[in-house]
Amino acid sequence: MQEMNVNTVVLGAGPGGYVAAIRLAQLGVETLLVEKEYYGGVCLNVGCIP
């Protein structure tokens, strides 16, 4: 297992999580985005949009 040093961990890549991770990275914050299933969350993949 690889060890990583980051400033912020974002749990969940739903509509809020992936936007938060992108913005943090744009601001220069070392960020790790963790998602157990599919990026976009329920809304993007099976809920609101399809």
- First vs last C-alpha separation in the chain: 36
For the whole model, what pTM was predicted? 0.77
Distance in angstroms (rounded) separating the CA atoms of residues 40 and 47: 10
Look at residue 49 in the predicted model and tell me its pLDDT.
64
Distance in angstroms (rounded) separating the CA atoms of residues 13 and 35: 6
Distance in angstroms (rounded) separating the CA atoms of residues 33 and 6: 10
Look at residue 3 in the predicted model and tell me its pLDDT.
93
Per-residue pLDDT of the chain (50 residues; tens, 9 = 90+): 899 999 999 999 988 999 999 999 999 999 999 999 888 887 777 887 65
10 sits in which H/E element: strand 8-11
